[in-house]
């Protein structure tokens, strides 16, 4: 299927590295005007340079999604500048806590929530208000297969992703009759900075690979293609769903 996003305006929250970066490039290759965010201007400039080598023009907006005011004003600025927002990819995510549930602190919990769930919800709300006014829009959140499978030493992360899946269903219900679709992608284990530690740890890496029927980690492009599909009219009859893309890990 040839997916065309010509004339669409897309914002990728957390588009400077990994899955987000590939989503930026894939959405732009499909024809969308893409604006992406991250906290690091250096990372953002690298993406702009990489896109430019591919003949693609993308724009960056540097803000921390945990800062609700900064996020809201950046989203408003996108709409002021480009006249609308058709696609939001809520991708930014962190997972710095690696400890058993009995050792999780309130600070750990709040840190994860502030980015992965609270930050992304208010970004979705901010973009969603514009989409509701326009009467159309597509929102794609990036969850994780761990939200259905669970994982050891990652309880706050998993809780944010489970919350994201519930949010996806409820937002879809609330906004379906006003033209806004809300879906999610739940990746398995993908070759990005987030899984670098695991992939560098020989025995852990072997154990993880043994659980992957396709015998390898996924690539960011393999998640980005699902994000592009859900962003586009090719998925016009889909809302409220979170699709697992995990090489069979969850089987």
- Residues of this chain that interact with ligand NAP (CB under 6 A) are 14-20, 37-40, 43, 64-66, 91-95, 115, 142, 144, 187, 189-190, 192-195
Considering the complex, state which of residue 1 and residue 49 has its C-beta at the smaller distance from ligand NAP. 49
Rounded to a whole number of angstroms, the minimum distance from the CB of residue 126 to ligand NAP is 14
Rounded to a whole number of angstroms, the minimum distance from the CB of residue 39 to ligand NAP is 3
Q: How many CB atoms lie within 10 A of CB 94?
A: 16
Contacts by 190-194, CB closer than 8 A, 24 or more apart: 190/18, 190/19, 190/217, 190/218, 190/219, 190/220, 190/222, 190/223, 191/217, 191/218, 191/219, 191/220, 192/17, 192/18, 192/19, 192/220, 193/17, 193/18, 194/18, 194/93, 194/95
Considering the complex, state which of residue 37 and residue 235 has its C-beta at the smaller distance from ligand NAP. 37
Rounded to a whole number of angstroms, the minimum distance from the CB of residue 178 to ligand NAP is 26
Backbone angles phi, psi at 140, to 5 degrees: -125, 120
Place of tokens 């540097």: 62
∠ CA 224-230-236, nearest 5°, is 160
Read off the tokens for 62: 């540097």
Q: How many CB atoms lie within 10 A of CB 144?
A: 30
Rounded to a whole number of angstroms, the minimum distance from the CB of residue 52 to ligand NAP is 18
Considering the complex, state which of residue 2 and residue 226 has its C-beta at the smaller distance from ligand NAP. 226
Considering the complex, state which of residue 19 and residue 75 has its C-beta at the smaller distance from ligand NAP. 19
- Residues carrying an active site annotation: 157
């Amino acid at each position: 299927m040839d997916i065309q996003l010509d004339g669409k305006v897309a914002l990728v929250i957390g588009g400077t590295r990994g899955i987000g970066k590939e989503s930026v490039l894939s959405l732009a290759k499909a024809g969308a005007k893409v604006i992406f965010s991250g906290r690091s201007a250096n990372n953002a400039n690298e993406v702009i340079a990489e896109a430019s080598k591919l003949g693609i023009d993308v724009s960056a907006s540097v803000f921390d999604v945990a800062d609700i005011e900064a996020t809201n004003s950046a989203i408003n600025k996108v709409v002021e500048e480009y006249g609308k927002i058709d696609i939001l990819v809520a991708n930014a995510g962190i997972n710095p806590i690696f400890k058993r549930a009995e050792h999780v602190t309130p600070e750990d919990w709040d840190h994860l929530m502030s980015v992965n769930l609270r930050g992304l919800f208010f970004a979705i709300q901010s973009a969603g208000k514009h989409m509701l006014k326009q009467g159309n829009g597509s929102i794609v959140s990036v969850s994780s297969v761990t939200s259905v499978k669970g994982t050891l030493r990652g309880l706050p992360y998993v809780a944010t992703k489970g919350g994201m899946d519930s949010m996806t269903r409820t937002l879809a219900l609330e906004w379906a009759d006003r033209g806004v679709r809300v879906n999610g992608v739940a990746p398995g284990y993908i070759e990005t900075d987030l899984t670098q530690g695991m992939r560098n740890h020989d025995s852990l890496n072997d154990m993880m690979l043994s659980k992957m029927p396709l015998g390898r980690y996924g690539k960011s492009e393999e998640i980005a293609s699902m994000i592009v599909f859900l962003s586009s009219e090719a998925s016009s009859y889909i809302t409220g769903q979170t699709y697992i893309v995990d090489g069979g890990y969850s089987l």
